[in-house]
Amino acid sequence: MKFDTPATTNPIDQGKVIGKPHDRIDGPLKTTGSAPYAYERHDVVPGQVYGFVVGATIAKGQIRSMDLAAAKAAPGVLGIVTAASAGKLGKGKFNTAHLLGGPEVQHYHQAIALVVAETFEQARAAAQLVKVDYARKPGAFDLAAARDGAKMPETGPSDADTAVGDFAGAFAAAPVQLDATYTTPDHAHAMMEPHASIATWEGDKVTIWTSNQMIAWGVGDVAATLNVPKENVRLVSPYIGGGFGGKLFVRTDAVLAALGAKAVGRPVKVNLTRPQMFNNTTHRPATIQRLRLGATADGKLTAIGHESWSGDLEGGAPETAVAQTQLLYAGANRMTAMRLAVLDLPEGNAMRAPGEAPGLMALEIAMDEMAEKLKLDPIQFRILNDTQVDPAKPERPFSQRKLIECLQTGAKQFGWDKRSATPASRREGRWMIGMGVAAAYRGNLNMKSGARVTLDRDGVVTVETDMTDIGTGTYTIIAQTAAEVMGLPLEQVKVSLGDSAFPVSAGSGGQWGANSSTAGVYAACMKLRETIATKLGLDPAKAEFADGKVSVGRKHVALADAAASGNLTVEDSIEFGDLAKKYQQSTFGAHFVEVAVDSATAEIRIRRMLAVCAAGRILNPKSARSQVIGAMAMGAGAALMEELVVDKRLGFFVNHDLAGYEVAVHADIPHQEVIFLEETDPTTSPMKAKGVGELGICGVAAAIANATYNATGIRIRDYPVTLDKLLRAGMPEINLTA
């Protein structure tokens, strides 16, 4: 199915199942421990043995020699895989570093060997016996130090630099100016389920049970790395314990499990330790961002400039922190630029809302600072500079844009009128109270997506697609889609996901998963409707599907009758044509935060948070709310505590576990509220939906930083906003006896 224009009659608009707050159909499996994750697939193949990854203990250099004798002689050891024994390996499209290093070492904890043994304990113990002699080379590990040598990126987005009008002239002439620099640190995905895989070979074909968000991408990368045809690779990933972008691409665990299984002739399972997850896999790169805003005295932006510096391994791509600045606010004269420094740290790559999440951490503080210079309310300032078209391409409108409504709805619900415009003026005993706001923006992407649907003689519809569920509720919204289109109760739909033997879907990433994958299921179900009607001798154009029946006029036939002589199976996919050229598709929101800051210790406590989201049709309000409040908690972590600390001498992340790398949890935030604006966007897909899981994190950190400034009068531009930074800046004195 090619989606160009909205259908005049759309069965998804019935709203009997879709759009309702259904419980997750995989919930009972998750809560009872019955949903098997990759490392727990003890049932899939007998005789599993264990691999333990040996990571490089230098960040850059060469392996002079590797003494494996003691490790090979250790109890239970079956074999050891190294770059020398594995033979020539390729490199996947989505990995910057080689997944098995040697003799060159590209980053700390790069995998350089896999020890395979009968038990995990034996493999781990033997791995400690591997002796490696390195020739260390000097490396670059400090973004600030490498900033001046950063260059325009050779890979990544084509619009590394953009220019509209005369930014330099307009900024110089602006009566009110802001020129400020903000920094964001490296972040870890820190998902609950580690990177883990089980691999087994049958002849020249490998099957890998793994934890991966994008099955088709993963198949391609495994095939390229192992130098085998794609048709010889099967990936299975039905349940994933969180990804946040860290599992978009296959990692060391999958490739080494396959190499280990081939080497010892047994199924091999590999689980990365938590420190290996932090230093061996990907992370969100640190940024340095310079914002320059120029405005008229009445608050109209005339110049918007946003420059960002980030780092990655050689051949990597930048953090696209300027993306939202190209589209969020009006302004006749604009400039954005990205520069990439080569750093010898572990690979930087996608993490929840890459680009917009760190970009809004800077832009939305800058907007607050500019509003204060203009003596305007921060919400009023944002509304004043709204735009309904792409500022760089005025002929291309937003398909829908309700940023103003998000801000106004949130202000009313949150009690924004009670905010004191004077910083550090509201107190409750020793606590200083502040409110902050930030706009939320995330682009909406459409990806080709397919599915296979089958009707059986019991009237049950089974959906098969390689789409993944990373904890977002994909099983449920796909079931809801099929139930709505086929006129069935939810209980009459079965969903199978995460297997490369199924039709290729959009996958889970970039906030495109829900809308695109359900649209693919919609396309397949519409084809099944046509097949069923034809089989029953009914006019497909007139057939109505409801309550388990197919009806044309007064003729009603049970859906199951169409499959009385055998199952009916069809496949289809959806493609989106040139929609992205016709419309700027985006999601919008507003985040409101109230904080209390202890006047003596500078401890920051979030009291309450509100997110207002405009993201098309909400397919399941219950699971969507769960996604947004989780994203809000993640944004709180980015604002107040999350920072991968770089050892700038040796080139690794020091706090590489969940004891040293602190993340926010829901208990840190007493009250969270989410409002979804009533909205359907007919230009996005037949589902009229958009993504929302990443929108929920965009702008959160800035809203918290702005609230902290409102409480204390201290502006922190370097994340995370920690109490030591407030104390060093000099907390305002407070009379505790007043």
Predicted pLDDT at 457: 97
Classify residue 538: in a domain, yes or no: yes
Condensed to tens digits (0 to 9), the pLDDT of residues 609-619 reads: 999 999 999 99
Q: Which of 516, 540, 575 is the last residue of a domain?
A: 575
- Three-state SS annotation for 237-292: CCCCCCCCCCCCCCCHHHHHHHHHHHHHCCCEEEECCHHHHHHHCCEECCEEEEEE
Cβ neighbours of 379 (radius 10 Å): 20
- Identify whether 423 is preceded by a cis peptide bond (ω within 30 of 0): no
- The verdict on 515 and 619 lying in the same domain is no
Q: How far apart are CA 442 and CA 353, in angstroms?
A: 7
Q: What percent of the chain has pLDDT over 70?
A: 99
Once rounded to an integer, what is the mean pLDDT over residues 99-104? 97
102-125 mean pLDDT: 98
Domain limit, last residue, from 515, 541, 575? 575
**Do 451 and 561 belong together in one domain?**
yes
Give pLDDT tens digits for 449-492: 999 999 999 999 999 999 999 999 999 999 999 999 999 999 99
Residue 269 clears pLDDT 70, i.e. is over it:
yes
pLDDT of residue 738: 46
Examine the domain organization and report whether 652 and 614 are in the same domain: yes
The pLDDT-based confidence of 2 (bands split at 50, 70, 90) is confident
pLDDT band at 249 (very low <50, low <70, confident <90, very high): very high
Are 620 and 679 found together in one domain? yes
What mean pLDDT is reported for the chain? 96
Task: For residue 328, tell me if it sits in a domain.
Answer: no
pLDDT in tens, 503-518: 999 999 999 999 999 9
Instruction: Tell me how many domains the chain contains.
Output: 2
d(CA 485, CA 576) in angstroms, rounded, equals 20
| Residue 100 predicted with pLDDT over 50 | yes
Residue 209 located in a structural domain: no
Residue 537 lies in a domain: yes
DSSP structural state of residue 24: P
The pLDDT tens digits of the residues spanning 378-406 come to 999 999 999 999 999 999 999 999 999 99
Question: Does 620 lie in the same domain as 672?
Answer: yes
Same domain, 588 and 439: yes
Q: Would you state the pLDDT for residue 6?
A: 55
Tell me, yes or no, whether 469 and 502 share the same domain.
yes
Identify whether 734 is part of a domain.
Answer: no
Query: Is the domain of 634 the same as that of 648?
Result: yes
Task: Tell me if 235 is assigned to some domain.
Answer: no
Q: Which domain holds residue 482?
A: 11-35+447-575
- Number of neighbouring beta carbons within 10 Å of residue 542: 10
Does residue 8 register a pLDDT over 80?
no
Give residue-wise pLDDT tens across range 296-334. 999 999 999 999 999 999 999 999 999 999 999 999 999
Regarding predicted confidence, which is higher, 522 or 3?
A: 522
Catalytic residues: 694
Instruction: List residues bridging with 111 in a β-sheet.
Output: 55
598 and 564 in a single domain? The answer is: no
Q: State yes or no: pLDDT of 159 exceeds 90.
A: no
What is the average per-residue pLDDT within 250-270? 98
566 in the same domain as 485: yes
Q: For 45-58, how does the pLDDT look when each residue is reduced to its tens digit (9 = 90+)?
A: 999 999 999 999 99
Does residue 3 surpass a pLDDT of 90? no
In 3-state terms the chain splits into helix, strand, coil percentages (rounded to 5) of 30, 30, 45
DSSP state of 493: E
* DSSP H/E element including 146: helix 143-146
Mean local confidence (pLDDT), 359-385: 98
Q: Does some domain include residue 130? A: no
Q: What is the CATH number of the domain that holds 497?
A: 3.30.365.10
Same structural domain, 520 and 438: no
- What is this structure's pTM? 0.97
**Is 414 inside any structural domain?**
yes
Percent of the chain with pLDDT over 90: 96
Mean pLDDT of 76-94: 96
For residue 103, say if its preceding peptide bond is cis, omega within 30 degrees of 0: yes
Same domain, yes or no: 526 and 647: no
Q: What is the pLDDT of residue 280?
A: 97
Within its chain, how far is the Cα of 84 from the centroid?
35
Give the end of a domain, one of 515, 549, 575.
575
Rg (CA), the chain: 27
Q: How far apart are CA 556 and CA 549, in angstroms?
A: 6
pLDDT in tens, 561-608: 999 999 999 999 999 988 888 999 999 999 999 999 999 999 999 999
The letter for the amino acid at 631 is A
- The SS3 call for residue 88 is coil
Residue type, 573: S
